[in-house]
Amino acid sequence: MLRLICTNLCSKNVYLKVLRYDIRNFSSSEHPSKIGALNHVAVAVNNLQKAVDYYREALGATVSEPQKLPEHGVTVVFVRLGNTNIELLEPLGSSSPISKFLETNKSGGLHHICLEVENINSAMQRAKSYGIRCLTEEPRIGAHGKPVVFLHPKDCNGVLTELEQK
Ligand SMILES: C[C@@H](C(=O)O)C(=O)SCCNC(=O)CCNC(=O)[C@H](O)C(C)(C)COP(=O)(O)OP(=O)(O)OC[C@H]1O[C@@H](n2cnc3c(N)ncnc32)[C@H](O)[C@@H]1OP(=O)(O)O
């Protein structure tokens, strides 16, 4: 039994070393796990309409139509900024992660950043090999209809981080 555990631990460590070596020595700097552009910064809000009015009227921004995503427990609106977006998040349903966030951040606030990656599975593998916790085992489909995964804020300098496949 002990031998089996040692063998497994050993092979896992060897695998992680090989993976990190592969990432570091990839011939091009464009490894498919590498992060690219900032897709959006997400802001949790108590009142979506009020937030939309602020961005549209007070700041003159172009704002998308609200999109309900019950599987994520949110209603989202995108504020278009040219080369990136602000994603407004309002809680939807009783178990929304945004409700919990708003309990401790009563006026709303910055909720997460979303970074683009070329290959989500490769990016997850890379993050995991450095001990970063992925919040789901498999990618899910996000607000843009593309695979996404969230990384634990405690492993990302206190910033909840979403990776989205381009
Ligand atoms: C549609 C999609 C898309 O864009 O494509 C979306 O946006 S969906 C957007 C909504 N979906 C998600 O957020 C999914 C990923 N989020 C989660 O799995 C969860 O919300 C967690 C981030 C793991 C937090 O979980 P939970 O609320 O149960 O834990 P908790 O409240 O006890 O918090 C644990 C610790 O993490 C901190 N914490 C919680 N939320 C945080 C956040 N957004 N940013 C930074 N830190 C955060 C808390 O302050 C606490 O720190 P202390 O221990 O120091 O007090």
**Antiparallel, parallel or unpaired: β 35-44 and 85-91:** parallel
Does residue 20 lie in a domain region? no
**pLDDT exceeds cutoff 70 at 164:** yes
To which H or E segment does residue 34 belong?
Answer: none
Protein residue with least CA distance to atom 44, ligand 1? 160
**pLDDT exceeds cutoff 50 at 6:** no
Q: Which CATH number does the domain housing residue 68 bear?
A: 3.10.180.10
The finding on whether 89 has its CB within 6 A of some atom of ligand 1 is yes
The finding on whether 44 has its CB within 6 A of some atom of ligand 1 is no
pTM score > 0.95 for this model?
no
The finding on whether 120 has its CB within 6 A of some atom of ligand 1 is no
The finding on whether 142 has its CB within 6 A of some atom of ligand 1 is yes
Percent of the chain past pLDDT 90, that is, above it, reads 80
Protein residue with least CA distance to atom 4, ligand 1? 143
What is the mean pLDDT of the segment spanning 137-165? 98
State the chain's mean pLDDT as an integer: 90
Q: How many domains does the chain have?
A: 1
Does residue 25 lie in a domain region? no
Give residue 147's domain range. Answer: 35-165
Does residue 18 lie in a domain region? no
pLDDT tens string 63-96: 999 999 999 999 999 999 999 999 999 999 989 9
Does residue 85 lie in a domain region? yes
E-strand stretches of the chain = 35-44, 62-63, 67-69, 74-80, 85-91, 109-117, 140-141, 147-151, 161-165
